[in-house]
Amino acid sequence: MSLVDHPAKAIYLANRHPRLTRHEFRERWLAHSRVGEVLAGGPQPIAGLRYCLTIDPTDLLPGASNEHDGVGMLALRSVVSIPTMHAVLTRNDVALADELRTFERAVEDVTVYAASELVVDGPETGVVVIEYARRREAIDVVEHLRATERKAPDDALLEAGVRRWVRNIAVGASPRGFGYDAVTELWFDSLDQVADAAPTIGAFFDRRSAHTERRASFFLVTEVIHQLGRTRP
Helix axes 82-91, 93-102, angle to 10 degrees: 70
Residue 40 has what pLDDT? 47
Terminal alpha carbon distance of the chain? 14
The span from the CA of 18 to the CA of 111, in Å, is 19
> Could you tell me the residue range of the domain that residue 70 belongs to?
8-225
Examine residue 2 and state whether it is found in any structural domain, yes or no. Answer: no
In a domain, 232, yes or no: no
Its sign, for the CA torsion 209, 213, 215, 216, is: negative
Mean pLDDT throughout 187-202?
A: 98
Alpha helices in 154-227 (DSSP H): 156-159, 191-196, 198-207
Q: What value does the mean pLDDT take over residues 165-180?
A: 91
Provide the pLDDT for residue 39.
53
Q: Tell me the average pLDDT across 91-96.
A: 83
Could you tell me the pTM of the whole model? 0.94
Instruction: Tell me 128's DSSP state.
Output: E
pLDDT at 142 over 50: yes
Show the CA angle centred on residue 35, arms to residues 229 and 178, nearest 5°: 85
Domain count, the chain: 1
What is the chain's mean pLDDT, rounded? 92
User: Domain of 41: which CATH number?
Assistant: 3.30.70.100
Q: Is 233 domain-assigned? A: no
The alpha carbon of residue 56 and the mean position of all alpha carbons in its chain are separated, in whole angstroms, by 17
For residue 118, pLDDT beyond 70: yes
In the predicted structure, residue 143 carries a pLDDT above the cut 90: yes
Is residue 53, in this structure, part of any structural domain at all?
yes
State mean pLDDT over 169-180.
Answer: 88
Q: For 33-68, give the DSSP string.
A: HHHHHHHTSTT-SEEEEEEEEE---TTT-TT---SS
The residues near 89 (Cβ < 8 Å, ≥ 6 apart) are 10, 95, 107, 108, 111
